[in-house]
Amino acid sequence: MELPHLSPSASTKLSGALPLLAVASAVRGQLTGTLKIQSDKIVRYWEFSVGNCVNVASNAKSELPGSFLQKEGRFNAAQFDAYLAEIQKTKSAHHWDIAKRLAALTDAEVVTLRERWALRIVSTLAASSPSEISFEPKPGREGTILLSGIRLLMKAAEPIQAADIPKLCDAFTPSSVVHADEKREKTFEPLPLDAEEKGLLTVVKNSKTIQEVFSSSFLKPDRITSLLFAYFLAGLVEFESAEVAAQKTHEASLSDAQRTLHQQMAAKAQSLDKTSYYDWIGVTPKSSSEEIERKATEIMELYAAPSIEKLFQERDKTIPGLLLKKLEEARRILLDPTKRKEYDGFLAGGKTGSFAATSVSLREEEVVRQAEALLASNQADQAVALVDRALRDVPNSVTLIIRYAQLLLKTKGPADSAARDRALAELKRGMTFKPPKPEVFEAVGAWCLALGQKPKAMDAFKRALELAPFSAPARDGLQEADSANAPRILVDILFQHRGSLDFYQLLGVDPRANVRTIQNAYRDCTKRFHPDRFFQSEAELKEHSKEIYKRMVEAYVTLKNPSKRSAYDEKRGGTISDSGSGAGSDEPSHERVSTASTPETRQGKKFYEIALAAIREGKLDSAKLNLQLGLQVEPNSRALKEKLNELLGTASSAKP
């Protein structure tokens, strides 16, 4: 039978000294039977009756009763030889009966000597290295108590150095809370302790921490440590780290609903590596993007609420932030059709948890983000080297090809022949990939412009616009390459794609663009596409320009009005926009890269934009709250931190 594991409390871990812990299990469990502990060829037995030791045996010659009596001076050499001969001849297990007869011991002497002999064997417990420990229950086992369970443990704990006890019991620290278990104490009555030992137990009952016990007792520190550990092994006292005690007090202060939510969040944090993104959000692989968006936003708003922070103590305060980060990761992957398809393949391979480390597209995004950060900190060469290394590892990455070419143009320029040749060679490869990417042709056009090759630039930008007619970089590039013919070409392309372009694409702005950006884009469109520009053109072109311009006016009227824009966004698919006049992005989404000017995550952007709107309305407390919520989702966002610091500085300067 395997001994029950000694687990005094959920907060205490025990290690080492396995024989000692096995004896403690038998005593605590008030077991009846035989405990066998084998170390190499030496086998020792402890027989228990309701947790008390009634017999001890050992097959080691040095631990036989006769050897003990010889060391005690009760056996001479002749008596010891006679003792050994008789036990070998008769194979008798009644060693003490033989010893009593040969040494002419009285019954009282046998009792005293036998206890001392047993204690000597017990003292070997802590130092032994067992190869086998087993317990054979023997119900009904009776016998005169040789050693009480508590005395057995106290003797066994004596050889352990005070400095080693914290290694055996991780909760044995000065700041740990100490509890006396009076119910267990009653099970040992009458308690077999001397006055000194009972006095220390009384001190424990009147102390809150182990440190207080040391401060209140007159015993020496090593003696206190040894006795406390023995009491702990017997179950007379329990230790609990200050952290765990504080956690229990905190949990007791929560309502049932708060406690349930706390447990659910803690459990979810523990299972993230074993479950899928769908499980993280609470949806299925068949769920629509709308359902995923709704559910993820709902959970993230719950976890980002200020009240959630109060549910967690210091040691697990990172749980809400971890869950928000992981939920944003899951939401971002599952709402991107390409990444979701890649992730479903990841699941089909039998994997779960985060696949960010294995996803090629996510690794590419991270490389680009790091490169932009290096560039922003004036480390251009490091940024180029970073993308170069990544591109050599993944040579067919269109994303890395584009970013590498853009970086070389920005940092080296056309005068650097090596940079020029490498960039154009990579872009040439990128143009052969299927499906074609408009950003590749935008980058080609930018290099051609820099090299003064305007006809080639025109061809590249036209190709980019055929693939993405809403591309602002391609529109601007075309205008720069040939200002006279660019409007005509753009009108033709926009007219061909008019049925598939939404208002944002028509104006060439990002759905997150602010009103000022939209106004600037509209003024630019007016210059390029106003029908008056095509007054002398052929009739067909004039009609096309009128229709395109009419749609642009409609787009501007809608998007500059907050209520109309919100209604349009909802109809369009719930895209979050900033309808205020604060800072915003001037770049379309396919051109945007991670910068410090705005938060990176969708949820972070949402809180940031709400905060900006609140600032414009003078609701500074609301703005501060939303910035703090944003930092829960995206703790390293410089935009959120700077705006919050700006608000806090404003509030501080307003005080008298």
pLDDT in tens, 269-293: 888 888 889 998 999 998 888 889 8
- Strand duo 42-49 + 33-39: pairing: antiparallel
Residue 346 in contact with residue 319, Cβ under 8 Å?
no
Which pLDDT score, from 0 to 100, does residue 576 have?
39
Contacts of 610 (CB under 8 A, 6+ apart): 622, 626
Alpha carbon distance 501, 555 (integer Å): 11
What value does the mean pLDDT take over residues 234-242? Answer: 87
**Average pLDDT rounded to a whole number, residues 609-617:** 74
Binned at pLDDT 50, 70 and 90, residue 583 comes out as: very low
Cβ within 8 Å of residue 169, ≥6 positions away: 12, 13, 14, 229, 232, 239
Say how far apart CA 286 and CA 596 lie, in whole Å: 36
What's the pLDDT score for residue 69? 92
Residue 296 pLDDT > 70? yes
Contact 239, 178 (CB under 8 A): yes
How does residue 612 score in pLDDT terms, banded at 50, 70 and 90?
confident
For residues 393-416, average pLDDT: 89
- Contact (Cβ atoms closer than 8 angstroms) between residue 308 and residue 266: no
**pLDDT, average across residues 595-599:** 57
Contact 328, 602 (CB under 8 A): yes
Query: Residues of the chain with pLDDT > 90: what percent?
Result: 16
Q: What is the CA radius of gyration of the chain?
A: 40
Q: Which residues contact 20 (CB under 8 A, 6 or more apart)?
A: 125, 126, 153, 156, 157, 160, 233
Residue 594's pLDDT is what? 30
Q: What is the pLDDT of residues 355-390, one digit of tens each?
A: 766 777 777 878 888 888 888 888 989 988 999 998
Angle (CA) 518-520-521 rounded to 5° is 65
**Where is average pLDDT lowest: 210-219, 258-267, 598-607?**
598-607
Over range 55-59, report the average pLDDT: 89
pLDDT, the chain, mean: 82
Question: Worst-scoring range by mean pLDDT, 3-17, 283-297, 429-443?
Answer: 3-17
Q: What confidence score (pLDDT) does residue 651 get?
A: 44
Distant-in-sequence, close-in-space partners of 460: CB < 8 Å, separation ≥ 6: 441, 442, 444, 445, 448, 477
Q: Are 241 and 11 within 8 A, CB to CB?
A: yes
Determine which of 57-66, 393-402, 555-564, 612-621 has the lowest per-residue pLDDT on average.
612-621
- Range of weakest confidence among 125-129, 196-200, 505-509: 125-129
Q: What is the pLDDT of residue 210?
A: 93
The pLDDT value given to residue 646:
73
Q: How far, rounded to the nearest angstrom, does the alpha carbon of residue 365 sit from its chain's CA centroid? A: 21
pLDDT band at 245 (very low <50, low <70, confident <90, very high): confident
Q: What is the pLDDT of residue 108?
A: 92
pLDDT at 12: 45
Q: Determine the Cα angle at 149 with ends 106 and 133, to 5°.
A: 105
Helix axes 18-28, 149-157, angle to 10 degrees: 160
Average pLDDT of 336-342? 82
Instruction: Match 């993944």 to its residue by tokens.
Output: 394
Cα gap 103→84, rounded to integer Å: 13
- Cα-flanking dihedrals φ and ψ of residue 8, to 5°? -60, -40
Per-residue pLDDT at 170: 80
Give the up-direction half-sphere exposure of residue 609: CA atoms within 13 A in the CB hemisphere. 20
Tell me the average pLDDT across 123-141.
80
Confidence at 514, pLDDT banded by 50, 70, 90: confident
Residue 540 has pLDDT above 80, yes or no: yes
Q: What is the DSSP letter of 169?
A: B
| Cβ pair 545, 610 in contact under 8 A | no
Q: What is the pLDDT at residue 214? A: 94
The answer to whether the Cα torsion of 541, 544, 548, 551 is positive or negative is: positive
Rounded Cα distance, 209 and 212, in Å = 5
- Report the alpha-carbon distance of residue 200 to residue 227 in Å, rounded: 8
- Using DSSP's 3-state secondary structure scheme, residue 49 falls into strand
**DSSP structure class, residue 41:** T
pLDDT of residue 588: 34
Hey, is 124 helix, strand or coil?
Answer: coil
109 — pLDDT class (breaks 50, 70, 90): very high
Share of the chain above pLDDT 70, in %: 90
CA atoms within 13 A on the CB side of 147: 25
Residue 212 pLDDT greater than 90, yes or no: yes
What local confidence, expressed as pLDDT, does residue 525 receive? 84
